[in-house]
Amino acid sequence: MKLTLEPTIDNAAGFALWVDAISDIIETAITTGEIHDTLTTHRLAWNLCAGTIGAAHASAIMREDVDLETRINDTATALSSEALSGCEHRKAY
């Protein structure tokens, strides 16, 4: 994540690598039945990475009492809750 936020690095390439790494973990979780196989779940890696970057930027700008780790945990929990609850009933493939 820190490399993705670093202005001297190709952010698009860093983000893509990060999304790919998280996608591999999510695909394994889908295959093993740990999370549901839905269209939303297949987009989870991108959304988690983007949410984390957004949380990092907002924390730096807002200077709130809530720390970055809490914001990232909140983002991950919110985004992954649907994958775990099975709210979306359509199969991705």
* Cα-based distances in Å from 8 to 4, 5, 11, 49, 77: 10, 9, 8, 19, 30
- Tens of pLDDT, residue by residue over 20-78, are 999 999 999 899 988 888 888 888 888 888 888 887 777 777 777 778 788 778 877 87
pLDDT of residue 66: 75
The structure's pTM equals: 0.65
Question: What is the distance between the alpha carbons of residues 65 and 70, in angstroms, rounded to a whole number?
Answer: 10
Neighbours of 83 (CB within 10 A): 22
- Give me the helices (H) in 1-93, please: 2-5, 11-31, 39-42, 44-62, 68-85
pLDDT of residue 87: 43
Rounded to an integer, what is the distance from CA 66 to the centroid of its chain?
19
Question: What is the distance between the alpha carbons of residues 47 and 41, in angstroms, rounded to a whole number?
Answer: 10
pLDDT of residue 73: 81
